[in-house]
Amino acid sequence: MAGHGPHHGRRLGVHRRGRHGAQERGEDPLTVALAGNANVGKSVIFNELTGLHQHVGNWPGKTVERAEGALSFRGRVVDVIDLPGIYSLSTYSIEELVSREYIAVEQPDVLVNVVDASVLERNLFFTLQLLELEAPMVVALNQVDMAESRGIRVDPGRLSEHLGVPVVPTVAVKGIGLEELMATVFEVATGEERERAQIRYGPEVERRVGELTRAVEGVETPYPSRWVAIKLLEGDEEMRRIVFGADPGVEELVRRLSSEIEGIHGHDTPSVIASERYLVANRIASEASTHLVPRTTFADRLDQVTSHPVLGYLFMFAVIAAVFYGIFSFGDYASGLLGGAFGALKAAYDARFGVGPFASFFWFGVVEGVVAGVTIALPYIVPFYVALSVLEDSGYLARIAFLMDSAMHRIGLHGKGFIPLMLGFGCNVPACLGCKIMETERERLICAFVASLVPCTARSIVIMGLVAEYVGFEWAAALYLIDFALIFALGRVAFKVVPGEPMGLIMEMPTYRWPTVKVTFRRSWDRMENFVREAFPIMVAGNFVVHVSAAVGLLDVVQGLMKPVTVLWLGLPAATGVVLIFGVLRKELTLILLASIMGTSNFALILSPVQMFVFAFVVMVYVPCIATIAVLVKEFGYRKAAIISLLEIALAVGLGGVIYRLMILFGLG
């Protein structure tokens, strides 16, 4: 077929391993781990190699757990492991500990250190630590295109000479260099161990490292002695425990050597070692790269505007308003179009099968579930996924996090916590999982709690499909504002109630990029596919159960039981009782079932504007859906998940009634 050049189709000349892929030639699979700083492109490489769909986006800290995939290259099975991005091999954070143990203890056959060529020096700081682990290693010099556009050219040959390991330039997003990367990985795995270039620190430090290295040689650890010696001087807790436990004499030696280093340099030993390392990284980076005339790029200018203390916020509000308005307009239009199409289909169905009890039960009990999903849910969901993906991939999401930093600090989180919150607009499940980027258990809990209050697409469907559509866009906007106020207020309460200290953090700002059509399309498609696969069966089943219940009279019983809450307190029609119960499964189900029970999707006929507003409010706040509850249980345990869920129900019902009365009082009905 024409156009099947090296950059099309199976670009790598590799075969992704099928689910039951036999191990060719009976060899053990080759394990390759991808390690490096955050946001350098590890997951893009992983996805390209394995055909899997790890989360990719332009902000640091997306991959929080290691992921595994496989491919077959030159007839051999290769297991690829995508690790979380880390900056050091200390045990400061869970991610660092996870990665370090994996690398040192489980020992992949080859380590691929992915570095970002546009910020080489900072990346090499980590590379140097990996080299100290003495694992077989290849450096993937990624994002060379970004480096070029910022006027930086890195010479892979020279970099390789300095580091003593092979360096392969790559542009992961275009698949460039990945075939060569794999070939080099194979050479390293099968070839003779090359003589490593020795990375040496200043003589005062080096002498003491040497002395300590010899002293710990007899101690059994999974790590090389030199690495152990350096870590001991850096005050690494885990190493101290292991080594001092095995040989208490070493403790005295470490203390003596540390105080000697401190005496010479006037700083504590860990800082001395860190600055020595920076010095080496800086020297290598500047020797291996040439700087062309720096240009002010469009990305730089955009950065200035969007991070500006005044313009930045204006821009942010404009972007968010435009995104929501765009989604609403598109959704409204598409929903109308699809509604018309299905109306015609229904007419054709009636003409063909008649309106007898069986034919209409089949239509309303079975087909209607799908129709409602397609006409009410999808028109809003699809543009939402696209918008979120573009915001994330361009790097703007990270800017919003930066702008929201001071506001977020008031609820005890730093700006980084805003990223899971924004992702929550898509779906609360990844949002609650994304809270893993927070440093402490306490921040994770607060973050997940507020994330579970963010109006996800399902809730937006109700807000837009009901309130924006029938009451007015400004009323929908008011609902969002109420929700944000609530998030802020509750976050603040949680911050005061949950014990612990607030943490500060500086997040690195990613450079702006043009989001690629491929990534945007693929991710939106994936999410939509997931949505259809998970939500549609529930919608259809929920719709069916409700119709059967109605047929046997069960519906009236449940509605009667719920009446004190729905009718008396919230001022809603009795039918909403059943609907709200089913809404726990999926929130858009509330709207779909309401249409189904009432026998019309023209909500103006069945609800007054105030009722629509109150109903949407309750749906927005009451209890996260079942999938989110499951994630909360998994991450924080039953007790905390139950507290969060019950709290949200109480809040929704309580405030819902108050809002109803206030609106009546002010004559807004």
Ligand X SMILES: Nc1nc2c(ncn2[C@@H]2O[C@H](COP(=O)(O)OP(=O)(O)OP(=O)(O)O)[C@@H](O)[C@H]2O)c(=O)[nH]1
Residues near Mg ion (CB under 5 A): 42-43, 62-63
φ and ψ of 324, to 5 deg: -65, -40
Of 30, 49, 56, 233, the one binding ligand X by CB under 6 A: 56
Q: CA angle at residue 275 from 270 to 276, to 5 degrees?
A: 100
3-class secondary-structure state, position 81: strand
DSSP output for 224-248 = -HHHHHHHHHTT-HHHHHHHHHH-T
Select from ligand X, Mg ion, none the partner in contact with residue 559, using the beta carbon and a kind-dependent cut-off of 5 to 8 Å: none
Strand pairing report for 30-35 and 110-116: parallel
Token pair 């029938």 is found at 470
Q: Is 50 in the site for ligand X (CB under 6 A)?
A: no
Q: Is 40 in the site for ligand X (CB under 6 A)?
A: yes
CB of 434 to ligand X, least distance (A): 11
Residue 525: how many other CB atoms lie within 10 Å: 13
Q: Which residue number, 55 or 240, has a Cβ lying nearer to Mg ion?
A: 55
Q: Is 171 in the site for ligand X (CB under 6 A)?
A: yes
Select from Mg ion, ligand X, none the partner in contact with residue 60, using the beta carbon and a kind-dependent cut-off of 5 to 8 Å: ligand X
How distant, in Å, are the alpha carbons of 118, 206, 208, 273 from that of 203? 31, 5, 9, 12
CA distance 256 to 250: 10
Select from Mg ion, ligand X, none the partner in contact with residue 580, using the beta carbon and a kind-dependent cut-off of 5 to 8 Å: none
Q: Which residue number, 57 or 412, has a Cβ lying nearer to ligand X?
A: 57
Q: Is 60 in the site for ligand X (CB under 6 A)?
A: yes
CB of 38 to ligand X, least distance (A): 4
The token duo for 623 is 């209890």
CA distance 176 to 161: 22
CB of 47 to Mg ion, least distance (A): 9
Q: Which residue number, 34 or 580, has a Cβ lying nearer to ligand X?
A: 34
Q: Is 42 in the site for ligand X (CB under 6 A)?
A: yes
Binding to ligand X by CB under 6 A, coded x per residue (else -) over 372-401, reads ---------------------x--------
CB of 59 to Mg ion, least distance (A): 10
Type and span of the H or E element at 35? strand 30-35
Q: Which residue number, 101 or 237, has a Cβ lying nearer to ligand X?
A: 101
Select from Mg ion, ligand X, none the partner in contact with residue 386, using the beta carbon and a kind-dependent cut-off of 5 to 8 Å: none
Q: Which residue number, 84 or 542, has a Cβ lying nearer to Mg ion?
A: 84
Select from Mg ion, ligand X, none the partner in contact with residue 331, using the beta carbon and a kind-dependent cut-off of 5 to 8 Å: none
Q: Which residue number, 58 or 428, has a Cβ lying nearer to ligand X?
A: 58
Q: Which residue number, 53 or 492, has a Cβ lying nearer to ligand X?
A: 53
The token duo for 485 is 């106020």
- Tell me how far the alpha carbon of residue 345 is from its chain's centroid: 40
DSSP output for 406-473 = HHHHTTT--GGGHHHHHHHTT-HHHHHHHGGGSSSHHHHHHHHHHHTTS--HHHHHHIIIIIIIII-H
The token duo for 101 is 């143990």
Whether 436 contacts 429, CB under 8 Å: no
CA distance 147 to 287: 16
Binding to ligand X by CB under 6 A, coded x per residue (else -) over 485-524, reads ----------------------------x-----------
Q: Which residue number, 16 or 174, has a Cβ lying nearer to ligand X?
A: 174
Select from Mg ion, ligand X, none the partner in contact with residue 142, using the beta carbon and a kind-dependent cut-off of 5 to 8 Å: ligand X
Q: Is 61 in the site for ligand X (CB under 6 A)?
A: yes
Q: Which stretch binds ligand X (CB under 6 A): 40-48, 404-412, 470-478, 494-502?
A: 40-48
Type of residue at 643: I
CB of 266 to ligand X, least distance (A): 35
Token pair 């612990």 is found at 500
Select from ligand X, Mg ion, none the partner in contact with residue 542, using the beta carbon and a kind-dependent cut-off of 5 to 8 Å: none
Restricted to residues 554-583, the positions that interact with ligand X (CB under 6 A) are none
CB of 177 to ligand X, least distance (A): 9
Residue 294: how many other CB atoms lie within 10 Å: 10
Whether 365 contacts 547, CB under 8 Å: yes
Whether 111 contacts 137, CB under 8 Å: yes
CB of 124 to ligand X, least distance (A): 16
Of 111, 173, 382, 429, the one binding ligand X by CB under 6 A: 173
Of 41, 169, 426, 571, the one binding ligand X by CB under 6 A: 41
CB of 395 to ligand X, least distance (A): 7
Q: Is 469 in the site for ligand X (CB under 6 A)?
A: no
Q: Provide the sign of the torsion angle of the four alpha carbons 641, 642, 643, 644, taken in this order.
A: positive
Select from ligand X, Mg ion, none the partner in contact with residue 434, using the beta carbon and a kind-dependent cut-off of 5 to 8 Å: none
Q: Is 123 in the site for ligand X (CB under 6 A)?
A: no
CB of 47 to ligand X, least distance (A): 8
DSSP code of residue 91: S
Of 14, 30, 35, 43, the one binding ligand X by CB under 6 A: 43
Q: Which residue number, 122 or 265, has a Cβ lying nearer to Mg ion?
A: 122
Residue number, nearest CB to ligand X:
85
Type of residue at 53: H
DSSP code of residue 374: I
Number of residues that bind ligand X (CB under 6 A): 25
- Distance from first CA to last CA of the chain, Å, rounded? 65
Select from Mg ion, ligand X, none the partner in contact with residue 173, using the beta carbon and a kind-dependent cut-off of 5 to 8 Å: ligand X
CB of 21 to ligand X, least distance (A): 25
Choose among 356, 365, 385: nearest CA to 532: 385
Binding to ligand X by CB under 6 A, coded x per residue (else -) over 130-169, reads ------------xx-xx-----------------------
CB of 330 to ligand X, least distance (A): 25
CA distance 332 to 469: 7
Total H helices, total E strands in the chain: 30, 9
The residues, any chain, with a CB within 8 Å of residue 170's CB and separated by 6 or more, are: 41, 45, 140, 141, 142, 144, 176, 177, 178, 181
Choose among 562, 566, 660: nearest CA to 609: 660
Q: Is 38 in the site for ligand X (CB under 6 A)?
A: yes
Q: Is 57 in the site for ligand X (CB under 6 A)?
A: yes
Q: Is 85 in the site for ligand X (CB under 6 A)?
A: yes
φ and ψ of 70, to 5 deg: -140, 155
DSSP code of residue 191: S
The token duo for 525 is 């498609």
CB of 631 to ligand X, least distance (A): 19
Q: Which stretch binds ligand X (CB under 6 A): 11-19, 60-68, 363-371, 534-542?
A: 60-68
3-class secondary-structure state, position 352: helix
CB of 469 to ligand X, least distance (A): 35
The token duo for 237 is 């807790």
Instruction: Output the CA torsion 353→356→358→359 (10° steps).
Output: 30
Of 39, 160, 520, 543, the one binding ligand X by CB under 6 A: 39
Contact positions vs ligand X (CB under 6 A): 38-44, 56-58, 60-63, 84-85, 142-143, 145-146, 171-173, 393, 513
